[in-house]
Amino acid sequence: MNSKTTSSRPERHLTTGLRVYLLRHLQVFFYSLGQLSRSPFATLMTAAVIGIALALPTGLHLMLKNARQLSGGWDGATQISLFLKRTVQEEQARRLANQIRNLPGVAGVRFISRREALNEFRRLSGFGDALTALEDNPLPSVLVIQPTLAASDPGKTGRLLQRLRQYPAVDIAQLDMQWVKRLYAIMNIVQRGVLVLAILLGIAVLLVIGNTIRLAIQNRRAEIVVMKLIGGTDGFIRRPFLYTGFWYGVFGGMIAYLLVTLSVSILAGPIEKLAGLYQHHFRLTGLDAEATLLLLLIGILLGLGGSWLAVGRHLREIEPA
């Protein structure tokens, strides 16, 4: 009896079999899309929930990225002030400045003599007259050291600072912008927070899709029973639901992209204006091609994963009786 049925089976011709298999996949691919478009409102609702859940961590990640870019500009502003002992003569100080200029990791050294320091202080403080009354200049000479860009991360500047402290002529060595360091620490914490949030929201997306697919399975119970009765494999029955999950992931990812891009375009203007007030040129960056692709990919993976979970749990429960 088997010879009769197998002889007409297409699997005998491997290439035909493969072509048919791919064609079936393509058909289910578009069939599931068609099914979703039959109830556009419900589909859109689910996709919007997924989109918002994906947009939140994506937006936060983008904010962090921008903040890092901004603080990258401030890294250059990290500088070390060396206040020399008051006993150090100007000639001696200039020699020290030249010496430091040749150290690795140092981009430049500006020498401020005691006189210059006093003049500057007068100009800036408004205590001009009070200072003229003093006979002696109370201010030390200062060397302002600019680390190279490569050496401007907190660890390397810290080491440079230690080294500069060793010079006997140095009274106080002070790293300006300690807060850059703190900012980095804060950003690292925020980054972890975003990661945790992303994971939680990813799980939420998984559950939303899983639940949606579960309802779809229940709605098509009769169809599943018939499929099983006439020899549909689990893989065959599973396929349209997996593609449905896939589409939810795609749509969710697309909505997330739109939401994030919209938010960026709303914020870009005011932020540029704000940066302008600080004489800082800054452009808010949006999602680049790579990030967009990643967002879609994550959406798709969550869509497939969610439907896989639902299908695995609920398909077995439906058996013809």
Partner 1 sequence: MIRFTHASKRYTSGFDALQDVSFHMPAGQMAFLTGHSGAGKSTLLKLIALLERSSRGQVFVNGQNLGKIPRWRIPYFRRNIGIIFQDHQLLFDRTVFDNVALPLIIAGYPQREIGRRVRAALDKVGLLGKEKVYPITLSGGEQQRVGIARAVVNKPPLLLADEPTGNLDPELSREIMTIFEEFSQVGVTVLVATHDIALIETLPYRVLALKNGKLHYDSDPSEET
Instruction: State the residues that interact with partner 1 by CB under 8 A.
Output: 1-2, 4-5, 8-11, 16-17, 20-21, 23-24, 222-223, 225-234, 236, 319-321
Nearer of residues 24 and 68 to partner 1, judged by Cβ: 24
Question: Nearest 5°: phi and psi at 174?
Answer: -130, 130
Contact 282, 275 (CB under 8 A): yes
Contact 98, 195 (CB under 8 A): no
Q: Sign of torsion, CA 19 24 27 28?
A: negative
**3 state SS of 143:** strand
Smallest distance from the beta carbon of 39 to partner 1, in angstroms? 13
Nearer of residues 24 and 283 to partner 1, judged by Cβ: 24
Smallest distance from the beta carbon of 242 to partner 1, in angstroms? 16
Smallest distance from the beta carbon of 6 to partner 1, in angstroms? 10
Smallest distance from the beta carbon of 210 to partner 1, in angstroms? 23
Q: Which residue has the tokens 């401020």?
A: 112
Smallest distance from the beta carbon of 18 to partner 1, in angstroms? 10
Nearer of residues 17 and 270 to partner 1, judged by Cβ: 17
Contact 78, 175 (CB under 8 A): yes
Question: Nearest 5°: phi and psi at 186?
Answer: -65, -40
Nearer of residues 89 and 233 to partner 1, judged by Cβ: 233
Query: Quick one: 279 exposed, middle or buried, by C-beta within 10 A (0-12, 13-18, 19+)?
Result: exposed
Smallest distance from the beta carbon of 38 to partner 1, in angstroms? 10
Closest to 161 (Cα-Cα) out of 141, 175, 177: 175
Contact 90, 145 (CB under 8 A): no
Nearer of residues 18 and 293 to partner 1, judged by Cβ: 18
Nearer of residues 9 and 281 to partner 1, judged by Cβ: 9
d(CA 300, CA 250) in angstroms, rounded, equals 6
